Structure 1
Amino acid sequence: MAGVTDRPFRQLCKKFGAGMAVSEMVTSNSLLYGSQKTLRRANHEGEVDPISVQIAGADPKMMAEAAQFNVDHGAQIIDINMGCPAKKICNVMAGSALLKDEPLVQKILSSVVKSVNVPVTLKIRTGWDTQNRNAIEIAKIAEGIGIKALAIHGRTRACLYMGEAEYDTIAEVKQSVKIPVIANGDITSPEKAKYVLDYTGVDGVMIGRAAQGKPWIFREIDHYLKTGMHLDNPSIDEIKNTTIAHVNELYSFYGENAGLKIARKHISWYTKGLKNSANFRHYMNTIETVDAQIKTIEDYFNFLSIESPYIKYEEEMLVA
């Protein structure tokens, strides 16, 4: 979720009921010696607690230094990423590539845990490929070293994001350790969240891509788990106001020029499946001023609300 879960997006998700929002992944060497862009990812000013910062890397000493840097800048939880499948991360033996080297995993986890006085959590996948699922072994190593919670994406590194997430390994991990285990992967609805919780016995679920353009998914899941009932879809006005507020936060955080460009993908996600949204998104990508961007958002949602004040997705998008 690098490039998505910046401070404005994390704050928005927490507003809609997320219990915790983890920062964008930052590699340890970039954080210690990086650019203004990298340092911005470590900016948590005004963020609602708990502040969890995600780091990645393959050098135990440098990972410890990165953890210390983040704690000094407000991190209350350090999250180690050993789940990212991206080639640029795996090519430097970080992220999910580390699952192939259990001794190095142990050294990194031990170095980071010893370096800070805040909880350290870990994110992994079920293994390197379908012939090498070693999540249970990694989980036991993590628990023994002092990792406080473990999140597992239900795919191997080789699977990337293809196919369906599998939850059997996650269930086995949950039975193998006593620390909290959090399931991740293909959790896109309140019903799916309940299914995964019941099937695996985990302590919580982690939402990633399903929150893009739908940050209210957190309140929907929370309400369903507590009551067994569905909340109504958000109104057109709520989506409009949420989109505009989010975009304005992006302008403030990145500056107007960069914020305008970054906002485009979020606007696209907010409007996906709505009437005439394809034409709207195409036009949105041609707009070059923040005033015009805001006005176009307002005009589009005002057009939708004339027909109905409630959200209605086009049939073909629901099928897709």
Structure 2
Amino acid sequence: MFGRRTKFTRGMKIFIAVFLLILAALITIIVFPITETTPAWVAPLQTNVYGFMARISPYILVGLLGATVATAELVSTFQTYPREALRTRWAWVLILVNVVAAMIALVVVRVTMTEMNPSLQVLSVGVGFQAIIRTRFVLAKRIGDDGQEGEVALNLGWLYDQFQNLARTQIDLELMNNRRTAVTRLLDYYPSMAELYDIAWYTITSRATLTREQEEQRKADLEKLLDPKAPENFAKSSMALAILENGGQAYVELLLTQAMQGLSPEAAAVGKPSNTDQLIWQLVENYSLPEMVALAEKLCSSEKAINYVREAAQPDPEANTANQKATIAHFLVQQIGVEPLQTAMAEDGKA
């Protein structure tokens, strides 16, 4: 599963249950109506509980605001995998530390700014506690005989920043492990570069939140992977990663489900298995590089596509001929389509 979910142990469940029971009891005591038949001890208890809740409620509110700020930071840091990031254990630890830090910041503000409005204290600390916690507190200063100054200071901000960096790194490493797992599964079920390219292209095109510039940039990055000089395994892994990053884990699970049912996304739409792999194999086996260029000139309507095939077919001592032909074959399938290529191969007697 992508993103390790936080497992609730028996101890955690007991703690949550006890906490909810205590909270329910406190609320019941506060709202309990006082009548003539109410025991005498209820009224003082209600007053004490109400006073206790009034004292701790600012810290609870600040803690909730701190948790919200921490969650927003995690979502903005891991924009591609926000839900998966929030499922990790380190995310929960980071949120908890932010809650505690916000409460400590409120204590500092209440001690140093006694005249400030309590509501404004809660709001300012809840939103800006990170700036407060990074304040460097000078406890003592010393001036030596040589005129040089020294000081004893408390720098909680450094510790806070170090912990934040540690938590984010651990979250990223955990997500990276799971990204690799998802990419490997995609490659297992979609071993063809043509299929991966088609799915990645469709995924980018289908994104509704991408700007025009972002979409064009991602498509350009995808097209670079068709370079004959690029190792095929690297290109396929990068395409699978592009599918994951642009479509998300739920989309990848859908693709894997379709693949396990024996259908690719394109084949699922028409109800028959894809023969893309077989066509690419036939192109590689039956056509030379010059013949592939001639095929592209015959079937492609785009001069840009024809020029790409010409450049990809140029002799290169550093590139394997089979890899060059495979790259061109994938490109032709993407640009021209399966049926026109099959028809052209039949006309050439190479089907």
Q: TM-score, normalised by structure 1?
A: 0.23
Higher strand share: 1
Bigger relative contact order, structure 1 or 2, given CA contacts below 8 A and separation 6+?
Answer: 2
Pair member with larger Rg: 2
